[in-house]
Amino acid sequence: MSSLFGSLDAGKNALLAQQVGLDVVGQNIANATTEGYSRQRVDFESLPPTRFGQLFVGGGVGIKDIRRVFDQQIENRLQQSMSALGGLARQKDSYDQLERSMNALADDPAAGQYVSVGGQIEQFFNELQNLASDPSSPAFRSIFISRAESMSSTVSNLAKDVLSLRASLNESVDGVVKDINRITAEIAQLNEQVVSAEVGGAISGQANDLRDRRDLLLRKLAELTEFNAHEN
């Protein structure tokens, strides 16, 4: 009779363990497109056997752990790459705005049209050379004055654009600082929740969903600033 009960108990344990496995598979499928989600897997283990006379009968299978399929080394490299990419993207955006202000690609030398700062300066010195060759020429004087006024206006407008760009970048820095503070505050809360859920490391299981959220926030933080993260 005890053998029968042992067999039934082993079967029950196997069904419960496989049910957990199916639940984890369903969780993985449901979150296949969820940002920051790490696929989870179930680690099974053989349960302690039961003594039956001179023999030991296995107790079936149980759940050892449900863990994330996660590589910390790859995650660290990803954070570093995202940090570098974020910095380069912000630099490119600033340079693109400055390039539009310089208007360097708007010149049309074939038509004699120069609207960029470089083109205006080049025209200014060309007319200065023409005037130097014949200072008494009213035509050269008039053209030179016109070029000088045009260059002065272009440089003045460029200075205003650069100052405006500078102010805009300063405002964006303030926004980035607020985002960093918000993200780090949430990471601090998650740290406490992870420690609480895992009983300060006293249990072998991990709070997978909390860790996924924390790693996602670290990636977002990497897009804003460089940092090194260590877990104690």
DSSP per residue, 124-151: HHHHHHHHHH-TT-HHHHHHHHHHHHHH
What's the pLDDT score for residue 147?
Answer: 84
Residue 71 has pLDDT above 50, yes or no: yes
Partners of residue 56 on adjacent β-strands: 51
Mean pLDDT of the chain: 84
What's the pLDDT score for residue 193?
Answer: 93
What's the pLDDT score for residue 231?
Answer: 82
pLDDT in tens, 169-199: 888 888 899 999 999 999 999 999 999 988 8
Between the ranges 120-124, 138-142, 208-212, where is the mean pLDDT highest? 208-212
Backbone φ/ψ region at 60: left (φ over 0), alpha (ψ -120 to 50), beta: left
User: CB under 8 Å to 213, separation ≥6 — which residues?
Assistant: 36, 190
Q: Which of 105-119, 138-152, 155-169 has the lowest mean pLDDT?
A: 105-119
Whole-angstrom Cα distance, residue 3 to residue 56?
Answer: 11
Partners of residue 43 on adjacent β-strands: 65
